[in-house]
Amino acid sequence: MSSLSPAKANPASAPVHPAPLRIGLIGFGCVGQGIYDILLRLPEFGAEVRRIAVKNPLKARTLPAEHFTYHADELLADPDLDVLIEVIDDANEAFRLVSAALRQGRRVVTANKAMVANHLPELVALQQNHGGTLLYEAAVCGSIPIVRTLDAYFGQEPLRSVSGIFNGSSNYVLTRMGTDGSDYAPALAEAQAKGFAETDPTLDMAAFDPRSKAVILAAHAYGVLLSPAQVLNLGIEHISATDIAYAAVESQKIKVVAGLYLLPDGQLTVLVTPQLVSRESPLYGVDEEFNGVVIEAEFAGTQFLRGRGAGGYPTGSAVLADLAALRGDFRYAYAKLRATPLAYTTDLELEIYLRTDNETLLDQLGFTDITEEADEDGYIVGYVPLDALLQHRDALRKAGAFVARTGNVRPAPAHSAASQELQAVSS
């Protein structure tokens, strides 16, 4: 009489489970905590945080003190860590750590958009020269997979434009102002109370944050490496109920739109400003802390991606995707960097809505056409040179002026006999 016994596994047919990724985590704020929690909830993913480096030993944290080291260089020196994840808020220190890791040929994931935008040419060169890999999906638009979409899916196809709402904090404030009739200050306070805006909201509200993201996407979408200073960024710090009402009368909303536009002459321009957005735009319905990206491709047509743009879990999900990609030896192709680079231009005229009581600014901006003017509300609509906006953007902020573009763009008269207007894709 025979007894039943468990069948022996056939080694040739047994599934092969990769060894767990050993993670070194630099930073344990909102995003770092989110990544840690996600990996705990997904043990089947096969990644474990072995070491965590933080800066402040006195800060209260959700884990006991023995889980932390206070010297991030210890993680760089640890050969047993497979991947380093950098999620600190100091762009200079982040670059020091990330560049050192890449010189070691290591695999790194970062969520620091300012660091990547300010040093992208160097980071690309470090990867090429030392064999390391840097992924940064989490640096742009939170949970929306826009970097890899542009790099891999649209790595060869020409793109007419990439535009969208890249900052959830300012979008939340604008939503509250538009739906509740809130003034700017209480809407910002609400965003801060809910964790959507920082205590110092300058990077978000003055559009420095979405400008960094636009610079990163320019490299993947068009193969153009830009300095952030080359890109116009104007924010919403001085927006008022008057501006919201002006948009509403026209059945529009004000959104901070980052736009990368391929012009008819084959040159690229990048703009990050408040914009009057019509109901026909996919961005019109992107509210609260959500982000949205519109891709206008030459052959694929229009693509629209929408998702949560900030927070520990949405950003952590992008880090998780990068970890999975690293396990498959994925690295950015930067396919369009190899081609002849596009020329970048600011030699354009934009139609803007400007509200200010500073007449000196009107002279400095040099309006070439006035299409609308309301003295009682203190606003003017018309065309100004983009270079003038770049030159005087700090003066606009200091004067408390508010600027929004209508979406209409045309060539500067000195370089085009035609005055035909070019309608921006996401107006």
Q: Any idea which residues carry the catalytic annotation?
A: 213
For residue 321, give Cα distances in angstroms to 135, 244, 295, 318, 420. Answer: 10, 38, 21, 5, 44
**Beta pairing, strands 252-262 & 268-278:** antiparallel
Concatenate the DSSP letters of all residues of 55-88 into one string: S-TTS--SS-GGGEES-THHHHT-TT-SEEEE--
The partner residues of 421 in beta bridges, in order of sequence, read none
**Contact (Cβ atoms closer than 8 angstroms) between residue 168 and residue 310:** yes
Per the CB < 8 A criterion, the answer to whether 342 and 224 are in contact is yes
Per the CB < 8 A criterion, the answer to whether 291 and 163 are in contact is no
Cα separations in angstroms, 231 against 32, 208, 315:
30, 10, 25
261-273: b or e for each residue (b if 16 or more CB lie within 10 Å)?
bbbeeebbbbbbb
- Token pair 């107006």: residue: 427
Judge whether 142 and 307 are in contact, CB under 8 Å: yes
DSSP 277-324: EETTSGGGG--TTEEEEEEEETTTEEEEEEEE-SSHHHHHHHHHHHHH
Task: Give the whole-angstrom CA distance, residue 313 versus residue 31.
Answer: 7
Tokens (6 digits) for 139: 């640096």
Is there a contact between 305 and 146 (Cβ–Cβ < 8 Å)? Answer: yes
How far is 93 from 88, CA to CA, in rounded Å? 8
Q: What are the start-end ranges of the E strands in 122-168?
A: 133-135, 159-165
Give how far Cα 82 sits from Cα of 20, 160, 241, 326, Å. 9, 39, 52, 10
